[in-house]
A and B are shown apart, each in its own frame.
Chain A
Amino acid sequence: MKVKPQAAILIALMIIISGISVTSALGLWKTTATKTPAKLKDPQYSEAYNPADIRGSYTFSDLSKLYNIPIEDLSAAFGVDPAKASDFKCKDLESPNGSSQNKIGLTSIKLFVAYYLGLPYNPTEEIYLPEAAAKILLEKSSFTQGQRDYLKNHTIPKA
Chain B
Amino acid sequence: MKGKKKTAKALRSIVQISIFIIVFLIAISKWHAGKGISIPFLSNASLHAVCPFGGVVTIYDFVTTGTFIQKIHNSSFILMILGLIIAVLFGTIFCGYICPFGSFQEWIGKIGRKLFPKKYNQIVPTKIDRVLRYLRYLVLVMVIYQTAVSAKLVFQSVDPYYALFNFFTNEVAVSAYIMLGVIIVLSLFIERPWCKYLCPYGALLGLFNSLRIFKIRRNKSTCIGCKKCDKVCPMNIEVSGKEVIRDHRCISCYQCTSEVSCPVKDTVAITIGKAGASHES
The chain A residues found within 8 Å of chain B, CB to CB, are 1-6, 8-9, 11-13, 15-16, 19-20, 23, 28-33, 37-38, 41, 50, 52-53, 55-56, 95-97, 106, 124-125
Query: Smallest CB–CB gap between A29 and chain B, Å?
Result: 6
Query: Smallest CB–CB gap between B162 and chain A, Å?
Result: 10
Stretch at the interface among B43-51, B106-114, B227-235: B43-51
Q: A4-B8, A32-B73 are in contact. Are A124 and B89 (CB under 8 A)?
A: no
The reply to whether B15 and A31 contact each other, CB–CB distance below 8 Å, is no
What chain A residues lie within 8 Å of B71 (beta carbons)? 56
What chain A residues lie within 8 Å of B156 (beta carbons)? 96
19 A-B residue pairs with Cβ-Cβ distance under 8 Å, sorted by A, are A2-B275, A5-B257, A8-B90, A8-B270, A9-B93, A11-B90, A16-B79, A19-B81, A31-B43, A31-B44, A31-B45, A31-B46, A31-B49, A32-B73, A41-B66, A55-B70, A96-B172, A106-B70, A124-B151
The reply to whether A32 and B270 contact each other, CB–CB distance below 8 Å, is no
Q: A12-B86, A12-B98, A31-B50 are in contact. Are A1 and B73 (CB under 8 A)?
A: no
Bound CA–CA A91/B249 (angstroms): 38
B57 contacts the other chain (Cβ, under 8 Å)? Answer: no
Bound CA–CA A51/B164 (angstroms): 33
8 Å CB contact of A52 from B67, B94, B266: B67
Chain B residues 22-72 with CB under 8 Å of chain A are 43-46, 49-50, 65-67, 70-71
What chain B residues lie within 8 Å of A55 (beta carbons)? 70
Bound CA–CA A78/B97 (angstroms): 46
Query: Smallest CB–CB gap between B174 and chain A, Å?
Result: 6
Query: Smallest CB–CB gap between B140 and chain A, Å?
Result: 20
The chain B residues found within 8 Å of chain A, CB to CB, are 7-8, 11-12, 15, 43-46, 49-50, 65-67, 70-71, 73-75, 78-79, 81-82, 85-86, 89-90, 93-94, 97-98, 149-151, 156-157, 170-174, 176, 214, 252, 254, 257, 259-260, 266, 269-273, 275-277
Of chain A, the residue at the smallest CB distance from B83 is A16
Query: Smallest CB–CB gap between B28 and chain A, Å?
Result: 15
Please indicate which of the listed interface residues B43, B252, B270 has the most CB atoms of chain A within 10 Å of its own CB: B270
Known: A8-B252, A15-B82, A124-B149. 10 other contacts (CB 8 A): A1-B271, A1-B272, A5-B12, A5-B254, A19-B85, A23-B74, A30-B74, A31-B73, A32-B49, A37-B67
Of chain B, the residue at the smallest CB distance from A90 is B70
Of chain A, the residue at the smallest CB distance from B15 is A9
The reply to whether A2 and B266 contact each other, CB–CB distance below 8 Å, is yes
What chain B residues lie within 8 Å of A37 (beta carbons)? 67
Please indicate which of the listed interface residues B70, B81, B260 has the most CB atoms of chain A within 10 Å of its own CB: B70
Bound CA–CA A76/B119 (angstroms): 62
Q: A3-B270, A38-B66, A52-B65 are in contact. Are A9 and B44 (CB under 8 A)?
A: no
What chain B residues lie within 8 Å of A29 (beta carbons)? 74-75, 78
What chain A residues lie within 8 Å of B173 (beta carbons)? 96-97
Bound CA–CA A3/B90 (angstroms): 10
Bound CA–CA A11/B260 (angstroms): 18
What chain B residues lie within 8 Å of A4 (beta carbons)? 8, 259, 270
The reply to whether A2 and B74 contact each other, CB–CB distance below 8 Å, is no
